[in-house]
Amino acid sequence: MNIFLTGATGYIGGTVAHRLLRDGHKLRGLVRDADKAAKLSALGIEPVRGGLDDAATLTAEARRADAVINTANSDHRGAIDALIEGLAGSNKPFLHTSGSSIVADEAHGDLASDRIYDEDTPIEPVPGKQARVAIDRSICEASQRGVRSAVLCNTMIYGNGLGLARDSAQIPGLAARARKTGVVRHVGQGLNIWSNVHVEDMAELYALALAEAPAGAFYYVENGEASYRDICRSIAKRLGLGLPQAWPFADAVKELGESSAAYTFGSNSRVRAKRARRELGWAPKHPSATAWIEKELPL
C-alpha cells in the first residue's frame, strides 16, 4: 500500500512506520521542517511538508493514498475532518490514534480504581476528555461515509521507539525528572493504575488493523497494568535511587500543568484489549512495563 502517515517523526508514528516498511508498504510522512524531512527520507519515508492545520494538504494526501494513519495528535479535530473528507466514499483504511485517558478519573494518585473497561463498556468521560471521545466517535461514524475507519486507543506505552524518537512520554518523563532531582516522584500516593503495552506490540496491532480491521472498529491496546507507585519503584531501582516520594497534586500541577498532572500521571486508566485479541488475533509478546524498566530503561 501507499500510506500517508501523520506523526511520522514521533514515538508512535516512527515505530509504526518501521513496522509497515518491513511489510513492504510505501510511506509518505507529514513533517514541518527540512531537517526532519531529510531524516525521514533516510529512513525510506517520503516527506510531505506541512502541518495539521494544512487542511488542503491533508485532504489531497488522503485522496492520493491507499490508506491513512494518524499518529500525530488525538485531539486535532480540524485535521481529522480534513482526512475524512479526502477518504469519504473510497472504502480506504483510516487508522486513528487515541489514548486511554478517555476513561481517566480524577483520583489524583490517591485511589486505585476497580473499574476496568473493554470495548463494550460505555464511557462517561470526565470533562477534560469529552472532546477526545467525541473525535473517536466521529471516526467510527466515518464508516457510514465509506471509510474503513478504526480507532486504536493506546494505553501507557513503554519500550524504545524504532523511529526518530526513542522515548515515550510517561515513563521516560518520570525518569528524566528523577535524574535531575535525585528523587522519583509519583502524583499523590501513586496508587492509581494504568494499563500498558510495549511499543513493538502496539505497532504490530497497527499492522493487523491496517489489513483486517472492519469499518467503525474501536480497539484498546494493552497487555498488562501497573500502579504508578510500582512503576516509580522500578525506576528508582533501575537508577539506583531511594524509595519514591509522594508528589502533592498541587505541586505536580505547577510543573506539569493541570491536564497532565490529573490525567496522564494522576488518574486510573484500566482497560482490556479483548476485541483486538478476538477479532484480529493480536498476541502481544513483551513482558511487563516494570520488568522492562528494571532491565532496559535507558540510563
Map out the domains of the chain with their CATH numbers.
Answer: 2-102+117-159+198-222+271-284 (3.40.50.720)
Contact 87, 62 (CB under 8 A): yes
pLDDT of residue 92: 98
Query: What whole-number distance in Å separates Cα of residue 237 and Cα of residue 281?
Result: 35
Share above pLDDT 90 across residues of the chain, in percent, rounded to a whole number: 100
pLDDT of residue 287: 85
User: What is the b/e burial string over 50-63, where b = at least 16 CB atoms within 10 angstroms of the residue's CB?
Assistant: bebebbebbbbbbb
Report the side by side order of strands in the sheet with 193-198: 156-158, 193-198, 225-227
pLDDT tens-digit profile of 147-193?
Answer: 999 999 999 999 999 999 999 999 999 999 999 999 999 999 999 99
Beta strands 67-70 and 2-6, pairing class: parallel
pLDDT of residue 232: 98
Query: What whole-number distance in Å separates Cα of residue 57 and Cα of residue 54?
Result: 5
Residues 6+ apart with CB under 8 A from 254: none
Contact 228, 187 (CB under 8 A): yes
For residue 64, the number of C-alpha atoms closer than 13 Å in the C-beta half-sphere is 14
Instruction: Output the pTM of the full model.
Output: 0.97
Q: Stretch 112-135: mean pLDDT, rounded?
A: 96
pLDDT of residue 7: 98
Q: Stretch 195-204: mean pLDDT, rounded?
A: 98
